[in-house]
């Protein structure tokens, strides 16, 4: 894979972004194929289930997904509203950046 990326830099300097996109797509297809081939049967999946933790329906893994989704949402909301106070009040060339 590294040699293929290096080939794109040397041989295709004008369309390297497209070449890099092909590498990412090939990598995604490889992992999707791996995931599908390693998928467990329903019987094996049921053996890994745990007792319900929340509302007599969700186990700890489901609760983890819900809490992480809330955490990601609020992280992005903080980033979205971080500079709201300087949106209309300050000219862009006076905003300090580092």
Q: Which residue has the tokens 């006076």?
A: 94
H helix intervals, the chain:
2-11, 16-37, 42-47, 60-81
Delimit the domains of the chain by residue range: 1-40, 49-85
**pLDDT, tens digit, 9 for 90 and up, residues 85-96:** 666 676 777 777
State how far the Cα of 94 lies from the Cα of 98, in Å rounded to an integer.
Answer: 13
Q: Is the pLDDT of residue 97 over 80?
A: no
**pLDDT, tens digit, 9 for 90 and up, residues 1-50:** 566 666 666 776 677 778 778 888 888 999 999 988 887 777 877 777 77
The pLDDT, as a whole number, for residue 5 is 64
**pLDDT, tens digit, 9 for 90 and up, residues 53-89:** 778 778 878 888 888 999 999 998 988 887 776 666 7
The pLDDT, as a whole number, for residue 23 is 83
> What predicted TM-score, i.e. pTM, was given to this entire model?
0.44
SS3 (DSSP) at 59: coil
């Amino acid at each position: 894979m590294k040699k293929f990326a290096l080939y794109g830099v040397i041989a295709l300097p004008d369309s390297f972004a497209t070449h890099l996109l092909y590498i990412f797509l090939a990598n995604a297809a490889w992992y999707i194929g791996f995931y599908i081939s390693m998928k467990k049967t329903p019987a094996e999946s049921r053996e890994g289930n745990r007792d319900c933790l929340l509302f007599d329906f969700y186990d700890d893994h489901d609760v983890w997904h819900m809490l992480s989704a809330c955490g990601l949402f609020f992280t992005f909301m903080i980033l979205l509203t971080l500079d709201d106070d300087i949106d209309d009040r300050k000219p862009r060339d006076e905003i300090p950046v580092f």
